[in-house]
Amino acid sequence: MRVRVSVLSIVVGAMIPALLFAGPAIWAQDNAATALVSGGYKIGVVDRVKALTDYTKQKEETAKLDAEYKRLQAPIDALSKEIEAAKKKYDETKANMSEDEQKRFEDNVQEKFRAYKAELAKGDGAMDTMRKRSMEVLARDYIDAVKQVAQTGNYHIVLEADPNSPGRTVLYASDTVDITPQVITYLNSHTSARPPKAAPKATADVRNTAKTAKTGK
């Protein structure tokens, strides 16, 4: 399967802006009265990377992905070892085989290799589905947390201020307008607010493929 990628690295990458933001700012609603009284707008900034790094659910989702990766990788590794063992045996004994025996042996190895490729593809599909689900859940939680903190604090606009992002729009912000700690607190106090989705069906398909590859049935 592909190299494992953590949920955090996916969520803080390019897809979250597409999922969450039409622009670089998050607007808090229903604050017209506050603006009129203060004579200005209340602005906050949030560090997305820090917020998600300290989000308990993000760590849990990454652990689930790692566990699922290891479970799906096990039958793939087993098939790989079978293929290597069969190839080694073939190389050691083919000189004493008839052409028909060589052909049967080669066909058997090719069959194992096809099963290996099918298992690999289905494993990748299952992991991609699980990563996408995790990313969507964390993205939704993050934007909800920012909105709630902004509305509760009567902020009119919240900007993202990830200091390590090459495309950042905030070059400097005082700690007094940083609402990242409040966002993290909100995230970690609402981790059970949404019911989890059912596990991807592709996972079961992978188990069936592994069984078929080993039993031939």
Instruction: Please state whether the predicted TM-score (pTM) of the whole model is above 0.85.
Output: no
What average pLDDT does range 143-157 have in this prediction? 93
| Assigned token pair, 15 | 């897809």
pLDDT band with cut points at 50, 70 and 90 for residue 170? confident
Token pair 């493929």: residue = 209
Residue 183: alpha-carbon gap to chain centroid: 21
Residue 167 forms part of a structural domain: yes
Greater confidence, 165 or 122? 122
Residue 26 forms part of a structural domain: yes
| Assigned token pair, 29 | 């609603």
Q: How many domains does the chain have?
A: 1
Residue 2 forms part of a structural domain: no
Alpha-helix runs per DSSP H in 12-98: 15-20, 32-38, 48-53, 56-93
| Assigned token pair, 142 | 């993050």
**174: amino acid identity, one letter:** S
- How many CA atoms are closer than 13 Å to the CA of 155, on its beta-carbon side? 23
* pLDDT tens digits along 82-97: 999 999 988 899 889 9
pLDDT at 41: 85
**Is beta strand 25-27 parallel, antiparallel or unpaired with respect to 43-46?**
unpaired
Report DSSP state, residue 162.
-
Residue 108 belongs to domain spanning: 7-215
Residue 1 forms part of a structural domain: no
